[in-house]
Amino acid sequence: MDKCIRQISEENEKKILSPLACLSSQSKGRLREETECDIRTAFQRDRDRIIHSQSFRRLKHKTQVFLAPSGDHYRTRLTHTLEVSQIARTIARALQLNEDLTEAIALGHDLGHTPFGHAGERALAQLSPNGFKHYEQSVRVVDILEKDGKGLNLTDEVRNGILCHTIGEDAYTLEGQIIRIADKIAYINHDIDDAIRAGVMNEEDIPLDIRMGLGMTKSERINNMVLNVIANTDDKKILMSDDFWELFNDLHDFMFVAVYKNPVCKGEEVKAVAMLEQIYEHYSKRPEEMPEQYVGIAEKEGVDRAVCDYIAGMSDNYSVKVFNQLYVPKFWIE
């Protein structure tokens, strides 16, 4: 019998990719067994499921850093995700690792992020007695919440990469480890770009020693960071050289003061957090008013779990709409 396209692709992976790469034919599998696709490998299938998911589409209306910016060119959670994917794929290809696995993890890594960026995440973490972490929520989205409670049934390698993309234990695949560092390269550079666009800072405000070490422009910094990762990665860990990593942390410290705590960028966060607090309080007392899926979660896993799931899944726009419906007289917003 002739081999199907998927089998040919799997054989090509064995011929082309590094011995350190995670092969799709050797995946640890899914939570629920499925018949393999004749065309796509397991990781290609995961990528497609993420792209076609509702939670992926909602990322276009979720804050990255700037709340409701008055311009079309500021990053959203979706454009951030795409930039992470591009950087991660470049690294994976250069290292001859599995680009499909890398892309799937990158596209899914922020699916569980809250509205209003990290301010929303901190709000839910403080409100919920069980805490809240967006990377854990991202896994919950793909395992449980998508497709009306059926989940996307992704491979273990993609799920692990999503879970480990921020802090804590490293992903067990090198492809998963790429996402953690690509995420950092992407956000630090696009946040500088957005801050300059907003008039919060200028490129020249970045300390000269950092610019001379990492690059004088955004494109130079990204290119130099990517090249440094490729040159310094070993067979166990994706990493930058010590001197580059130190400069990156210096740049992050600068951005923390200049941008991440800047009132121009964060002045509206207090209002956004207060709004989420009131939405949380309302549905914690009246869980039956949530959509049917979340009412079911409240019955099975508790009210707090359901309310966190509901709020985390909201876009910025939708959370404002819900708040208005709950607390603002109708004739005021018509």
Q: Where are the alpha helices (DSSP H) in the chain?
A: 5-16, 42-51, 54-58, 77-94, 99-108, 117-127, 134-140, 146-149, 156-163, 174-197, 208-214, 218-232, 242-255, 263-266, 269-285, 292-301, 303-312, 316-327, 330-333
% of the chain exceeding 90 in pLDDT:
88
Q: What is the pLDDT of residue 23?
A: 98
Q: What is the pLDDT of residue 261?
A: 85
How does pLDDT run across 47-90, given as a tens digit for each residue? 999 999 999 999 999 988 776 666 677 899 999 999 999 999 99
Is residue 1's pLDDT more than 60? no
How does pLDDT run across 80-111, given as a tens digit for each residue? 999 999 999 999 999 999 999 999 999 999 99
Mean pLDDT throughout 247-267? 89
Q: What is the pLDDT of residue 269?
A: 87
Q: What is the pLDDT of residue 267?
A: 72
Domains within the chain, CATH numbers bracketed? 41-265 (1.10.3210.10), 269-333 (no CATH)
Q: Which residue has better confidence, 300 or 260?
A: 300
Q: What is the mean pLDDT of the chain?
A: 95
How does pLDDT run across 134-171, given as a tens digit for each residue? 999 999 999 999 999 999 999 999 999 999 999 999 99
